[in-house]
A and B are shown apart, each in its own frame.
Chain A
Amino acid sequence: MNIIEFVESSLTIAEMEARKIKHDSTELWTRLIQPALWLLIFGEVFTTIRAIPTGQFTYLQFISPGVLAQSVLFVAIFYGITVVWERDVGLLTKLLSTPSPRSSVIVGKALAAGVRGIFQAVMIFGLALIIGVNLRLDILDVFGVFVVVVVFAMCFSSLSMLLASFLKTRDRMMGIGQAITMPLFFASNAIYPIAVMPRWLQAMSAGNPLSYVVDALRAMLLTGDYSGLGVDILALFVFTIIFVSAASVAIKRMVE
């Protein structure tokens, strides 16, 4: 496989998605409703009643990175449904009948998920600033957040496409999307610290990729303590490479 061709076609697939967003960006905006509700309602209420101990930070500060991670997860995990839809209308068949390497279809779409993730991040930053959440927004940290968001979106969108290659219908993908996202979200440190969890949930959280992402985002946006960052990012890259490779091999099942 020619590496230049691979990069070119990945970017073309991503461009295809980006052009679609340019023509109709409704979905991007509706995707902001949920994180906005988490911040404005859940966050504000729990900040006021101080029910969850978050140390030196307000609860709103504490959940802002968690809400960002969650919203990117939701964007990414439904990419499999798009692929199933494209299979149903014959688009995928045609993409796979081009000489472009199949892995570039996965990587391109995963990149597009990353672009959507960046949009979520920018908007959530904006909202946080408007409601007066104090975040460390210096250039390097923001750049680091974008990198983590893109890789995280790639990771879970390719997991979603991998699952789609086996499940093959939209109904099943809707079901599995819910079945994956909610447990990941609640069994993570996104909306409460690991310390307040019961022992069994702490164990689950330790094996939960979302916890590593939230941890990395929180380090960059809040604490400035980068000691765990290396492990977080390494874990994220490993998961991403595994899912992208597996999805690249499995995608041909969709059109057989």
Chain B
Amino acid sequence: MTIPQPPTAGTVSEENGAPLAIQVSGLTKVYQKGIKAVDSISFEVKEGEIFGLLGPNGAGKTTTIKMITTLTKPTAGAIRVFGVDAMSSPQRIRQMLGFVPQAISVDGDLTGYENLLIFAKLFFVGRDQRNKRIHEALDYFGLADRANDLVKHYSGGMMRRLEIAQALVNRPRLLFLDEPSIGLDPYSRKQVIRQVRELNQNFGTTILITTHDMSEADELCDRLAIMNLGKIATAGTPQELKRSVGGDVLTVTVSGKMPDSVPKDLGSVVSSEQGTVKILTLDGEKAMPRITDYLEQSGVVVESVSLSRPTLDDAFMKYAKTSLQQEGSFGEARSARRSITRHGR
């Protein structure tokens, strides 16, 4: 499949007036027993964007998605999807969206084709459109030759692809993906990510994705919000978030004389020992040649320079203040695995 370039003409000038896919303000969800899962959050997702919602387990991501998909009622706040109010017309909103929940939820007792057929019908896709769309989706996700096999005999990756295909039969303007790559092997994961990006580029589908995988988020998302304890800790482009960690790290290996400092406008020396100098700088790429020049002029012999950027992991750690490794996605990984084995009986 060839990927047409996303339309560029017009988008820049319309930037300010671009319609909002999601507009959330003061959204709050308090469960029984007083647990505040989501605490007065506000954010916007522009049409055509891939927006990532990150955060440790229990941060409130899934609850937020459930409220926007009208599966659960907010305690307070307002949600608009393409300008439609979620409280007053939930059914109109559901018509516009596709939803891939966290657990693999295609029906193992039906064939791939039937899974798509049932959902096309539940979305009221017209009889004339139905079969064309189903076969296109099966082809696109490489499932055509297994279309008439029961889904319980599919691999985990195939189930995930089928599920995304299923969420697309109604041609949603807005697609929700809740942890789409959990429980998948690296190859299937890559495939899913590529297809998500193509969807966004080819059809202009706005995508809201939650993930624990920071490299995935970095690769995929136009903008991100990091949630923690029911609040949005920070939001911005992956670049902005990484930059907000506090700059890039230049590691310089030198021989002979060791430098103690560099001019302030270039950065600051973090450590200097055994022939290795670490310099924290705001924009590593621009600073690199200037720092090298400066060091050589001051009589230091530079052997090599390497630039490392703060990763999204660093940003995540800064704002979520809990480590993914510590908190662990054990529970979620287990539930994903469970759902795969269930379907795979």
Using CB atoms and an 8 Å cutoff, list the residues of chain A in contact with chain B.
5, 8-9, 12-13, 15-16, 19-20, 23-24, 89-91, 93-101, 252, 255-256
| Residues of chain B from 326 to 343 with CB closer than 8 A to chain A in the complex | 339, 342-343
Smallest Cβ-Cβ distance to A255: which chain B residue: B71
The answer to whether B72 touches A94, judged by C-beta atoms less than 8 angstroms apart, is: no
Using CB atoms and an 8 Å cutoff, list the residues of chain B in contact with chain A.
66, 69-72, 91-92, 94-95, 97, 99, 101-105, 107, 109-111, 114, 118-119, 121-124, 150, 166, 339, 342-343
Query: Contact partner of B118 among A5, A12, A90, A93, CB < 8 A?
Result: A12
CB A4 to nearest CB in B, in angstroms, measures 10
Per the bound structure, the CA–CA distance linking A15 and B118 in Å amounts to 8
Q: B107 to chain A: which residues have CB within 8 Å?
A: 16, 20, 91
Majority secondary structure of chain B interface residues (helix, strand, loop or mixed): mixed
Smallest Cβ-Cβ distance to A93: which chain B residue: B101
Per the bound structure, the CA–CA distance linking A100 and B124 in Å amounts to 8
Q: Given the known A-B contacts A12-B122, A98-B123, are A24 and B71 also in contact in the complex, defined by CB atoms under 8 Å? A: no
Smallest Cβ-Cβ distance to B97: which chain A residue: A97
Closest 8 CB pairs of A and B: A90-B105, A90-B103, A99-B95, A98-B122, A12-B121, A99-B94, A97-B99, A20-B109
Per the bound structure, the CA–CA distance linking A8 and B114 in Å amounts to 16
Q: Between A and B, how many residue pairs show CB distances below 8 Å?
A: 81
Smallest Cβ-Cβ distance to B109: which chain A residue: A20
9 additional contacts (CB under 8 A) given A89-B343, A93-B101, A255-B72: A12-B118, A15-B121, A19-B114, A23-B109, A90-B105, A97-B101, A98-B122, A99-B94, A256-B72
| A-B contacts, 16 listed (Cβ < 8 Å) | A5-B124, A8-B121, A12-B118, A20-B107, A23-B109, A23-B111, A89-B105, A90-B102, A91-B105, A93-B101, A93-B105, A97-B70, A98-B94, A252-B72, A255-B72, A256-B72
CB B84 to nearest CB in A, in angstroms, measures 12
Q: A96 to chain B: which residues have CB within 8 Å?
A: 71
Q: A12 to chain B: which residues have CB within 8 Å?
A: 118, 121-122
CB B269 to nearest CB in A, in angstroms, measures 52
Q: Given the known A-B contacts A12-B121, A15-B118, A89-B343, are A94 and B109 also in contact in the complex, defined by CB atoms under 8 Å? A: no
The answer to whether B91 touches A90, judged by C-beta atoms less than 8 angstroms apart, is: no
Smallest Cβ-Cβ distance to A1: which chain B residue: B91
The answer to whether A97 touches B69, judged by C-beta atoms less than 8 angstroms apart, is: yes
Q: Given the known A-B contacts A8-B121, A9-B121, are A20 and B339 also in contact in the complex, defined by CB atoms under 8 Å? A: no
Per the bound structure, the CA–CA distance linking A16 and B111 in Å amounts to 11
CB A11 to nearest CB in B, in angstroms, measures 9
Per the bound structure, the CA–CA distance linking A255 and B71 in Å amounts to 7
Q: A90 to chain B: which residues have CB within 8 Å?
A: 101-105, 339
Q: Given the known A-B contacts A15-B118, A255-B66, are A20 and B123 also in contact in the complex, defined by CB atoms under 8 Å? A: no
CB A232 to nearest CB in B, in angstroms, measures 35
